Chains A and B, each alone.
Chain A
Amino acid sequence: AQRVTQPEKLLSVFKGAPVELKCNYSYSGSPELFWYVQYSRQRLQLLLRHISRESIKGFTADLNKGETSFHLKKPFAQEEDSAMYYCALRTLSNTDKLIFGTGTRLQVFP
């Protein structure tokens, strides 16, 4: 079964602390993984995708096929990082639908 698991509903850190948002997936094929972010009262927007292997706003994520994980990391959290973060898996079918995790709310305190 295709599934994305984000075990933490809420992650609270102080500004400057490291952040790791966990994501595990279950998919029989070769997945494509994404992180989407939703700031307060804004739309879902793409933060990262695993195939681009880039760093956006200081965030990185590495696909670990052995552990079926795609954790999102940032070494020094900023207050403006406070948002909902959703991990998503794109099935490589003709529809390319996204399967989302339940999301993790990141709160960064000053």
Chain B
Amino acid sequence: EPEVTQTPSHQVTQMGQEVILRCVPISNHLYFYWYRQILGQKVEFLVSFYNNEISEKSEIFDDQFSVERPDGSNFTLKIRSTKLEDSAMYFCASSGFSEQYFGPGTRLTVT
């Protein structure tokens, strides 16, 4: 059964550094999402992406964040200058016309 994959599984970075989190959605899916979960808190929507553009973004998704689908398979989330409060699990999800399938997540630790 096809799955959403994410790399790396764990990323440690210093405050102010740029990070890129990578996702490979399920191949025939059209809708792509990033969510995050700060430790002990709920899973929060960050951004949705369809037809090569952002369709919706949350208040969390400020100018420090960007998403890209650089080729036909990858979907990336970039944080330009990381802050301590960006430490969280970041989940990628993709969907066709029904349920969203989630990746295993990338744990980002900002020190």
Q: Given contacts A43-B104, A46-B99, A97-B33, is CB(A103)–CB(B42) below 8 Å?
A: yes
Nearest opposing residue in chain A for B41, CB measure: A102
The binding surface of chain A is classed by DSSP as: loop
Nearest opposing residue in chain B for A9, CB measure: B40
Q: Given contacts A101-B42, A102-B41, is CB(A43)–CB(B105) below 8 Å?
A: yes
Residue A49 lies at the interface, judged by CB distance under 8 Å to chain B: yes
Residue B82 lies at the interface, judged by CB distance under 8 Å to chain A: no
Nearest opposing residue in chain A for B46, CB measure: A97
Determine how close the nearest CB of chain A comes to the CB of B12; give it in whole angstroms. 19
Q: Please measure, in the bound complex, the distance between the C-alpha atom of A44 and the C-alpha atom of B90, giving whole angstroms.
A: 12
Residues of A close to B42: CB separation below 8 A:
86, 100-103
Q: Given contacts A44-B43, A101-B42, A103-B42, is CB(A95)–CB(B102) below 8 Å?
A: no
Residue A93 lies at the interface, judged by CB distance under 8 Å to chain B: yes
Contact indicator B99/A95 (Cβ below 8 Å): no
Residues of B close to A102: CB separation below 8 A:
41-42
Contact indicator B48/A97 (Cβ below 8 Å): yes
Q: Given contacts A45-B102, A49-B99, is CB(A93)–CB(B91) below 8 Å?
A: no
Q: Given contacts A43-B105, A44-B91, is CB(A34)–CB(B99) below 8 Å?
A: yes
Residues of B close to A44: CB separation below 8 A:
43, 91, 102
Residues of A close to B35: CB separation below 8 A:
98, 100
Q: Given contacts A44-B91, A86-B43, is CB(A97)–CB(B99) below 8 Å?
A: no
Q: Please measure, in the bound complex, the distance between the C-alpha atom of A43 and the C-alpha atom of B35, giving whole angstroms.
A: 13
**Using a CB–CB distance below 8 Å, which chain A residues touch chain B?**
34, 36, 42-46, 49, 86, 93-103
Selected A-B contacts with CB under 8 Å, 17 pairs: A34-B99, A42-B104, A43-B3, A43-B104, A46-B100, A46-B101, A93-B56, A94-B55, A95-B55, A96-B100, A97-B45, A98-B33, A98-B43, A98-B45, A98-B93, A99-B45, A102-B42
